[in-house]
Amino acid sequence: MMTIMKRRLLLVSNSTLHGGGYLQHCQQQIQDFFGKNVKRILFVPYALQDRDAYTKTARDKFITLGYEVDSVHETPDPVEAVRKAEGIFIGGGNTFRLLKALYDNKLVTEIRKRVLEDGIPYMGSSAGTNVSTISINTTNDMPIVYPPTFAAIGLVPFNINPHYLDADPNSKHMGETREQRIVQYHEEHDTPCVLGLREGSLLLVEGNKATLLGSTKARLFKRGKHTTEYEPGSDLSFLLTDAQ
Protein backbone atom coordinates (compact mmCIF):
# COMPACT_ATOMS: atom_id res chain seq x y z
CA MET A 1 0.00 0.00 0.00
CA MET A 2 1.33 3.43 -0.89
CA THR A 3 2.37 5.71 1.95
CA ILE A 4 -0.16 8.51 2.18
CA MET A 5 1.31 11.71 3.52
CA LYS A 6 -1.10 14.31 2.21
CA ARG A 7 -4.31 13.13 3.84
CA ARG A 8 -6.00 15.63 6.21
CA LEU A 9 -9.22 14.56 7.93
CA LEU A 10 -11.40 15.89 10.74
CA LEU A 11 -13.81 13.10 11.70
CA VAL A 12 -16.49 14.23 14.14
CA SER A 13 -18.80 11.90 16.08
CA ASN A 14 -21.79 14.25 16.17
CA SER A 15 -22.66 17.68 14.80
CA THR A 16 -24.69 18.84 17.80
CA LEU A 17 -23.75 18.32 21.43
CA HIS A 18 -26.36 18.62 24.18
CA GLY A 19 -26.71 22.27 25.23
CA GLY A 20 -25.00 23.72 22.14
CA GLY A 21 -25.82 24.69 18.56
CA TYR A 22 -24.89 23.09 15.25
CA LEU A 23 -21.13 22.30 15.20
CA GLN A 24 -20.64 24.62 18.18
CA HIS A 25 -18.69 22.10 20.26
CA CYS A 26 -15.98 21.72 17.61
CA GLN A 27 -15.98 25.10 15.87
CA GLN A 28 -12.45 25.97 17.03
CA GLN A 29 -11.12 22.68 15.67
CA ILE A 30 -12.94 23.36 12.37
CA GLN A 31 -11.23 26.74 12.01
CA ASP A 32 -7.85 25.28 12.93
CA PHE A 33 -8.44 22.47 10.45
CA PHE A 34 -9.52 24.41 7.34
CA GLY A 35 -7.28 27.34 8.24
CA LYS A 36 -6.92 30.57 6.29
CA ASN A 37 -6.05 29.14 2.86
CA VAL A 38 -9.43 27.50 2.29
CA LYS A 39 -12.11 30.06 1.39
CA ARG A 40 -14.91 27.85 0.08
CA ILE A 41 -16.04 24.45 1.32
CA LEU A 42 -18.00 21.94 -0.74
CA PHE A 43 -20.85 20.58 1.40
CA VAL A 44 -22.42 17.17 0.75
CA PRO A 45 -25.99 17.09 2.17
CA TYR A 46 -26.96 13.68 0.76
CA ALA A 47 -27.61 12.08 4.18
CA LEU A 48 -30.82 14.10 4.73
CA GLN A 49 -33.82 14.33 2.44
CA ASP A 50 -34.29 18.12 2.59
CA ARG A 51 -30.98 19.08 1.03
CA ASP A 52 -31.85 22.79 0.70
CA ALA A 53 -32.65 23.22 4.40
CA TYR A 54 -29.60 21.18 5.40
CA THR A 55 -27.34 23.30 3.19
CA LYS A 56 -28.74 26.48 4.75
CA THR A 57 -27.88 25.17 8.22
CA ALA A 58 -24.32 24.37 7.18
CA ARG A 59 -23.91 27.60 5.18
CA ASP A 60 -25.13 29.78 8.04
CA LYS A 61 -22.72 28.14 10.46
CA PHE A 62 -19.66 28.20 8.23
CA ILE A 63 -20.20 31.86 7.35
CA THR A 64 -19.78 32.68 11.04
CA LEU A 65 -16.46 30.80 10.94
CA GLY A 66 -15.29 32.70 7.85
CA TYR A 67 -16.03 30.19 5.06
CA GLU A 68 -18.32 30.22 2.04
CA VAL A 69 -20.26 27.00 1.34
CA ASP A 70 -21.18 25.49 -2.02
CA SER A 71 -23.45 22.46 -1.91
CA VAL A 72 -22.80 19.58 -4.25
CA HIS A 73 -26.56 19.20 -4.85
CA GLU A 74 -26.80 22.75 -6.23
CA THR A 75 -24.29 22.08 -9.00
CA PRO A 76 -25.15 20.53 -12.39
CA ASP A 77 -21.95 18.45 -12.31
CA PRO A 78 -21.12 16.97 -8.87
CA VAL A 79 -17.92 15.29 -10.12
CA GLU A 80 -16.61 18.59 -11.46
CA ALA A 81 -17.54 20.29 -8.17
CA VAL A 82 -15.44 17.76 -6.25
CA ARG A 83 -12.55 18.22 -8.70
CA LYS A 84 -12.56 21.97 -8.05
CA ALA A 85 -13.21 21.85 -4.29
CA GLU A 86 -10.77 23.47 -1.84
CA GLY A 87 -12.22 21.44 1.03
CA ILE A 88 -15.07 18.98 1.59
CA PHE A 89 -17.58 18.62 4.43
CA ILE A 90 -19.96 15.65 4.48
CA GLY A 91 -22.71 16.04 7.06
CA GLY A 92 -24.64 13.52 9.11
CA GLY A 93 -28.01 11.86 8.64
CA ASN A 94 -28.68 8.38 7.29
CA THR A 95 -25.46 6.62 6.31
CA PHE A 96 -27.11 4.25 3.78
CA ARG A 97 -28.83 7.14 1.99
CA LEU A 98 -25.55 9.08 1.97
CA LEU A 99 -23.41 6.26 0.58
CA LYS A 100 -25.97 5.37 -2.10
CA ALA A 101 -26.07 9.00 -3.29
CA LEU A 102 -22.26 9.18 -3.33
CA TYR A 103 -22.17 6.11 -5.61
CA ASP A 104 -25.14 7.32 -7.71
CA ASN A 105 -23.27 10.57 -8.39
CA LYS A 106 -19.92 8.79 -8.98
CA LEU A 107 -18.22 10.66 -6.17
CA VAL A 108 -16.61 7.88 -4.08
CA THR A 109 -13.41 7.45 -6.10
CA GLU A 110 -13.36 11.16 -6.94
CA ILE A 111 -13.39 12.19 -3.27
CA ARG A 112 -10.80 9.53 -2.39
CA LYS A 113 -8.49 10.86 -5.11
CA ARG A 114 -8.89 14.51 -4.08
CA VAL A 115 -8.21 13.78 -0.42
CA LEU A 116 -5.46 11.15 -0.68
CA GLU A 117 -3.64 12.42 -3.77
CA ASP A 118 -4.33 16.17 -3.85
CA GLY A 119 -4.44 16.64 -0.09
CA ILE A 120 -7.62 18.72 0.17
CA PRO A 121 -9.07 18.73 3.72
CA TYR A 122 -12.04 16.41 4.40
CA MET A 123 -14.39 16.93 7.32
CA GLY A 124 -17.06 14.39 8.19
CA SER A 125 -19.71 14.43 10.88
CA SER A 126 -21.57 11.30 12.01
CA ALA A 127 -22.65 9.62 8.71
CA GLY A 128 -19.99 11.73 6.96
CA THR A 129 -17.45 10.17 9.33
CA ASN A 130 -18.81 6.67 8.63
CA VAL A 131 -18.35 6.98 4.88
CA SER A 132 -14.73 8.12 5.25
CA THR A 133 -13.73 4.70 6.64
CA ILE A 134 -13.37 1.22 5.11
CA SER A 135 -17.09 0.43 5.24
CA ILE A 136 -20.40 1.51 6.74
CA ASN A 137 -20.85 -1.89 8.44
CA THR A 138 -20.55 -0.27 11.89
CA THR A 139 -23.06 2.55 11.44
CA ASN A 140 -26.01 2.82 13.83
CA ASP A 141 -28.46 3.70 11.05
CA MET A 142 -31.31 1.75 9.52
CA PRO A 143 -30.78 0.50 5.95
CA ILE A 144 -33.58 2.65 4.50
CA VAL A 145 -32.08 2.43 0.99
CA TYR A 146 -29.74 -0.08 -0.63
CA PRO A 147 -26.31 1.19 -1.69
CA PRO A 148 -24.47 -0.93 -4.28
CA THR A 149 -21.93 -1.93 -1.63
CA PHE A 150 -21.15 -1.23 2.03
CA ALA A 151 -17.56 -0.38 1.06
CA ALA A 152 -16.98 3.32 1.69
CA ILE A 153 -14.45 5.96 0.62
CA GLY A 154 -11.58 4.32 2.53
CA LEU A 155 -9.63 7.37 3.69
CA VAL A 156 -8.53 5.42 6.80
CA PRO A 157 -7.85 1.66 7.18
CA PHE A 158 -10.33 1.05 10.03
CA ASN A 159 -13.99 1.61 10.87
CA ILE A 160 -15.64 4.09 13.21
CA ASN A 161 -18.80 3.88 15.27
CA PRO A 162 -20.01 7.48 15.77
CA HIS A 163 -22.26 8.37 18.72
CA TYR A 164 -20.76 5.41 20.61
CA LEU A 165 -22.97 4.77 23.63
CA ASP A 166 -21.97 2.99 26.81
CA ALA A 167 -24.44 0.55 28.35
CA ASP A 168 -26.52 2.14 31.11
CA PRO A 169 -26.23 -0.11 34.19
CA ASN A 170 -29.61 1.19 35.46
CA SER A 171 -31.51 0.54 32.25
CA LYS A 172 -34.05 -2.27 31.97
CA HIS A 173 -33.53 -2.41 28.20
CA MET A 174 -32.71 -6.02 27.27
CA GLY A 175 -31.57 -5.45 23.67
CA GLU A 176 -27.96 -5.64 22.58
CA THR A 177 -25.61 -2.94 23.76
CA ARG A 178 -23.48 -1.07 21.24
CA GLU A 179 -20.48 -3.03 22.48
CA GLN A 180 -22.21 -6.37 21.83
CA ARG A 181 -23.08 -5.29 18.29
CA ILE A 182 -19.49 -4.36 17.50
CA VAL A 183 -18.31 -7.67 18.98
CA GLN A 184 -20.76 -9.45 16.65
CA TYR A 185 -19.24 -7.56 13.72
CA HIS A 186 -15.83 -8.83 14.80
CA GLU A 187 -17.10 -12.41 14.79
CA GLU A 188 -16.86 -12.15 11.01
CA HIS A 189 -13.45 -12.82 9.44
CA ASP A 190 -11.09 -10.07 8.27
CA THR A 191 -12.95 -7.25 9.99
CA PRO A 192 -10.92 -4.13 10.79
CA CYS A 193 -10.80 -2.56 14.21
CA VAL A 194 -13.58 -0.15 15.17
CA LEU A 195 -13.07 3.15 16.96
CA GLY A 196 -16.09 4.06 19.07
CA LEU A 197 -16.33 7.86 19.11
CA ARG A 198 -18.56 9.09 21.91
CA GLU A 199 -20.58 12.28 21.62
CA GLY A 200 -18.17 15.22 21.77
CA SER A 201 -15.11 13.42 20.41
CA LEU A 202 -13.38 13.81 17.07
CA LEU A 203 -10.37 12.37 15.30
CA LEU A 204 -7.83 14.56 13.53
CA VAL A 205 -5.78 12.79 10.86
CA GLU A 206 -2.76 14.52 9.32
CA GLY A 207 -0.78 12.28 6.97
CA ASN A 208 0.14 9.24 9.05
CA LYS A 209 -0.65 10.94 12.38
CA ALA A 210 -3.99 10.57 14.17
CA THR A 211 -4.99 12.43 17.34
CA LEU A 212 -8.12 12.13 19.44
CA LEU A 213 -9.63 15.56 20.14
CA GLY A 214 -12.72 16.78 21.96
CA SER A 215 -14.14 16.31 25.43
CA THR A 216 -14.79 12.56 25.73
CA LYS A 217 -12.84 9.32 25.62
CA ALA A 218 -12.93 6.92 22.68
CA ARG A 219 -13.16 3.13 22.85
CA LEU A 220 -11.22 0.87 20.51
CA PHE A 221 -12.43 -2.59 19.49
CA LYS A 222 -10.01 -5.06 17.92
CA ARG A 223 -11.06 -8.47 16.68
CA GLY A 224 -10.26 -11.10 19.33
CA LYS A 225 -8.71 -8.54 21.73
CA HIS A 226 -9.82 -6.66 24.83
CA THR A 227 -11.24 -3.19 24.23
CA THR A 228 -9.17 -0.17 25.21
CA GLU A 229 -10.07 3.37 26.23
CA TYR A 230 -8.24 6.48 25.03
CA GLU A 231 -8.30 9.95 26.60
CA PRO A 232 -8.69 13.14 24.53
CA GLY A 233 -5.24 14.11 23.27
CA SER A 234 -4.20 10.49 22.72
CA ASP A 235 -2.00 9.62 19.75
CA LEU A 236 -3.87 7.02 17.68
CA SER A 237 -1.44 7.02 14.74
CA PHE A 238 -0.95 3.25 15.10
CA LEU A 239 -4.46 2.82 13.63
CA LEU A 240 -3.19 4.21 10.33
CA THR A 241 -0.11 2.02 10.01
CA ASP A 242 -0.86 -1.25 11.83
CA ALA A 243 -1.85 -4.22 9.75
CA GLN A 244 -5.47 -4.52 10.79
Positions marked active-site? 126, 141, 163
State how far the Cα of 30 lies from the Cα of 104, in Å rounded to an integer: 28
The CA distance from 193 to 217, in Å, is 17
11, 121 contact by CB (below 8 A): no
Three-state SS annotation for 133-186: CCECCCCCCCCCCCCCCCECCCCCCCEEEEEECCCCCCCCCCCCCHHHHHHHHH
Give pairs for 104-107: CB < 8 Å, separation 24+.
105/46, 105/72, 105/78, 105/79, 106/78, 106/79, 107/44, 107/72, 107/78, 107/79, 107/82
